[in-house]
Amino acid sequence: MNFTPYLRFALHLSLLAAFFALPATATVVSYTNAAAFEAAAGPQNSFGFDSAYNATPPATADYTTADGLTVNEVKFVGTLENASDYYYLFVSLPGADGHNVLFGSFTSFTAGAVNPYEYVGDTTLTFPFPVDSVSFLGVLDYGDAGSATFKIAFSNGDTFDGNRPWTFGDAYQFYGFTTSTPFTSLTITPGAPPANFTDPIFADVSTLYYLPAIESMSYQSAAPEPQLFAPCAILLLAAWSVRRAK
């Protein structure tokens, strides 16, 4: 009996197994220039939050529930980590550019305190399908003056850490991200204030808040990755080798 075809088939199957065993690596690239981001990421699905403002001015539109808010197929949910079943998400009156603004879960702290944290909040965005680029206008502006850290955790395991200096009255800042490995969600977490921070404008206020504010954003669906075709190619090659050997 000729075992050569079966040996070849086993070899190709082992190659297929090795392919799936390869670790996936994600590389996120950040941009603060919109033109540079658009050149790298290509056409985007862009939207704002004007349609989500359903309140009577000067009230805010309240989405502080477990269901949060879904706009343009993207779901937004704000959660305070150390406050059980407490959600925080709303859409405000028009911002600097005349459009309504989404405000997510905040980090609150006491100015000048050694252990300033009172609450730490996460705002999670879930996309309808895998995406490989996303941008925000104003996502990391905060409710009070000063410099603050922040973190964005992508569902593909990537993270972005930054420090956003801000003074009262600043226009929103642009942030864009591209990644080599698609993701389906991301979480924005405002970080700790500087040590012994005292707000230079609201010096008489003891409890301050950092919260993400998104005036507009965009995203792009991920193109099929070339390596996804490799398993099919290996199986076809294995079948061809067995057939040819016969």
pLDDT digits (tens, 9 = 90+) for 14-45: 444 443 434 455 588 999 999 999 999 999 99
What is the pLDDT, as a whole number, of residue 7?
Answer: 43
Q: What pLDDT does residue 115 have? A: 61
Over 50: is that where the pLDDT of 201 sits? yes
pLDDT exceeds 60 at position 243? no
What mean pLDDT do residues 207-221 have?
Answer: 86
84-108: per-residue pLDDT in tens? 668 999 998 886 678 898 999 888 7
DSSP 119: E
Give the span between the Cα atoms of 18 and 10, in whole angstroms.
Answer: 12
Residue 10 has φ and ψ, to the nearest 5°, of: -65, -35
Q: Can you give the pLDDT at residue 73?
A: 96
- Say whether pLDDT at 162 is over 80: no
Residue 200 clears pLDDT 80, i.e. is over it = no
- Predicted TM-score (pTM) of this structure: 0.76
176/107: higher pLDDT: 176
Task: Name the percent of the chain lying above pLDDT 70.
Answer: 61
Here the tokens at position 52 are: 């989500």
Q: How confident is the model at residue 150 (pLDDT cuts 50, 70, 90)?
A: confident
Q: Which two tokens stand for residue 135?
A: 């941008």
Q: What confidence score (pLDDT) does residue 34 get?
A: 94
Query: Strand, helix or coil at 17?
Result: helix
Residues 6+ apart with CB under 8 A from 199: 111, 144, 145, 146, 205, 208
pLDDT band at 83 (very low <50, low <70, confident <90, very high): low
How many CA atoms does the CB half-sphere of 237 hold within 13 Å? 14
Closest CA to 154 of 175, 178, 172: 178
pLDDT at 178 over 90: yes
Q: Most confidently modeled of 33-37, 194-198, 207-211? A: 33-37
Structure confidence at residue 107 (pLDDT): 81
Residue type, 87: Y
Domain 26-225 class in CATH: mainly beta
What mean pLDDT do residues 189-204 have? Answer: 64
- The per-residue pLDDT for range 39-75, each reduced to its tens digit, is 999 999 999 999 999 998 888 999 999 999 999 999 9
The pair phi, psi for residue 9, each rounded to 5°, is -60, -40
Q: Is the pLDDT of residue 236 over 60?
A: no
- 38 alpha-carbon distance from chain centroid: 17
Of 19-23, 33-37, 153-157, 205-209, which gets the smallest average pLDDT? Answer: 19-23
